Each structure stands twice: as structure tokens, then as C-alpha cells.
């Protein structure tokens, strides 16, 4: 098996009412999944890791403002064209559900737990 670039799809803003502390908790949770994927020998990626710095460079002041909205979903959709698989983590998220839908259309494997992701030997 080859090393995979795996998009982590899950709630970021869902259920937060825009509260930055809750959004940060969601991103920190996603980073823990990223660590687990990395430990399996693959390359994890979270769309916000790319979208948020771009939005900030374009003048965004906080996640969810008009400028960030021009980057968040579009970056994820471009990124999906480069990914080999998706890990859909638990939690309600229309954006993550849409990522999974797009991934399925592209024929990508969709993992529901890290345990299902194959371990690579180094």
C-alpha cells in the first residue's frame, strides 16, 4: 500500500455559534486525529490548515467572516482533488458531509475510524 494524503472531515464551526474557543476545540480535536493518521504512516490534512492562512492574507479578521467564507469550502473542494482518502470524524457538519459526498463521487475511500486506516511500515 502507498502512503495516502488523508483529509480529515468533521465539525469545525458546527454547534459553536461562532464562539472562537469552541472552534479552537474542534480544530484541536481534529489535530489529534491528524496525529493518529501520521502515526499510521500517512499524511493528514485539515482544510482549515490551508484555508485560514489564505483568508487571513486576504484580510479576514475571524473565521466565518465574509472573506473567510470565500476560502473555507472552496479550498476543501480543491484539496479533495489531491487527496487519496477521507477520515470522517464524528459530529454534525454539513461541510464534512459534503466533503464525503464529493469524495464518494471521486471514488475515494471513506474511513469512519482511524483503526480502519491501514498501518504502513516505515
- What is the chain's pLDDT, residue by residue, as a tens digit (122 residues)? 899 999 999 999 999 998 999 999 999 999 999 999 999 999 999 999 999 999 999 999 999 899 999 999 999 999 999 999 999 999 999 999 999 999 999 999 999 999 999 999 86
- In the beta sheet, which residues pair with residue 5? 43
As a whole number of angstroms, the longest Cα–Cα distance in the chain is 44
Where exactly are the structural domains of the chain? 5-116
Burial class (CB in 10 A: 0-12, 13-18, 19+), 98: middle
- DSSP code at position 118: P
Q: How many CB atoms within 10 Å of residue 36? A: 16
Beta strands in 17-121 (DSSP E): 43-45, 85-88, 110-111
pLDDT for the residue numbered 122 = 66
User: Residue 121: its pLDDT value, please?
Assistant: 80
Pick among 1.25.40, 3.40.50, 3.30.720, 3.30.70: CATH of 5-116: 3.40.50
Structure letter (DSSP) for residue 31: H
Task: Judge whether 87 and 71 are in contact, CB under 8 Å.
Answer: no
Name 47's Cβ contacts closer than 8 Å, sequence gap at least 6: 7, 72, 75, 76, 79, 99
Amino acid at each position: 500500500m502507498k502512503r495516502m494524503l488523508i483529509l480529515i472531515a468533521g465539525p469545525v464551526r458546527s454547534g459553536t455559534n461562532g464562539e472562537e474557543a469552541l472552534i479552537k476545540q474542534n480544530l484541536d480535536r481534529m489535530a489529534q486525529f491528524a496525529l493518529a493518521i501520521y502515526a499510521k504512516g500517512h499524511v493528514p490534512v485539515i482544510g482549515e490548515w490551508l484555508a485560514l492562512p489564505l483568508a487571513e492574507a486576504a484580510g479576514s479578521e475571524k473565521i466565518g467572516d465574509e472573506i473567510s467564507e470565500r476560502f473555507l469550502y472552496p479550498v476543501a473542494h480543491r484539496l479533495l482533488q489531491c487527496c487519496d482518502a477521507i477520515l470522517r470524524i464524528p459530529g454534525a457538519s454539513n461541510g464534512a458531509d459534503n466533503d464525503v459526498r464529493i469524495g464518494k463521487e471521486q471514488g475515494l475511500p471513506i474511513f469512519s475510524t482511524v483503526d480502519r486506516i491501514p498501518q504502513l511500515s516505515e
